[in-house]
Structure 1
């Protein structure tokens, strides 16, 4: 129960601090605090949210300087529709230049909605499956090439 309350408090702290601090740096700093408080839970939430195996998360966590960087590897992969390996290579080649530079190198245009979300730190580690991470799976009806125009249904 105490662990649950500690994690809950950390998540509330992260959300409120990210809004108060503003920007990506505040979000990532708070995410690092959460990850260090509960490394196993953090890895599990990454795995679930981005739909990747736990072993893959462990590899990425071992390849980055900060735990929050692993989140960004998966987040940018999702935003750019590129595999995590591509994002990780760009991260390693551009360390110290910032996530904005990495995002641009991966094809996110400055001024775009995605770039503004990046600068604002408009992300969340919810630990819930993200629909955008499952682009290969179609939910609901597929688009058909039929002649249904103007039929009222």
Structure 2
């Protein structure tokens, strides 16, 4: 939230937070969408009795990773197509050195980008490092929730 914006009425914020939570949005995404701080979202969530638990975050991350991977696969395929078209044009224009060089340069660039994307996809397919990071994130979240509950004099979750 920018300093020039008036504070949002708690009732309206609560309703918006509840709606986005029901849609499966996480705390940070909710704050971004409503243009408020994560602290304001946390306060609204407490008033509403809802939580943004690690399982929802894990599910959202998995969806985003899968979507990004699929987009990269499509992009890599397009670069392969560009390379093939450029090489075909190079074959057709082998008598003009400048045009041949241009088509070969386009093909080489497309192949290079396809290979770079493929390397990213290969690294992303190694889920072991991602799983370890998510496990640490989950453990940290449990620690924070337990500490917050203890400070409020409540039983840790």
The TM-score, its normalising length taken from structure 1, stands at 0.25
Higher relative contact order (CA 8 A, sep 6+): 1
Q: Where is the helix percentage greater, Structure 1 or Structure 2?
A: 2
TM-score of the two chains, using structure 2 as the length reference: 0.24
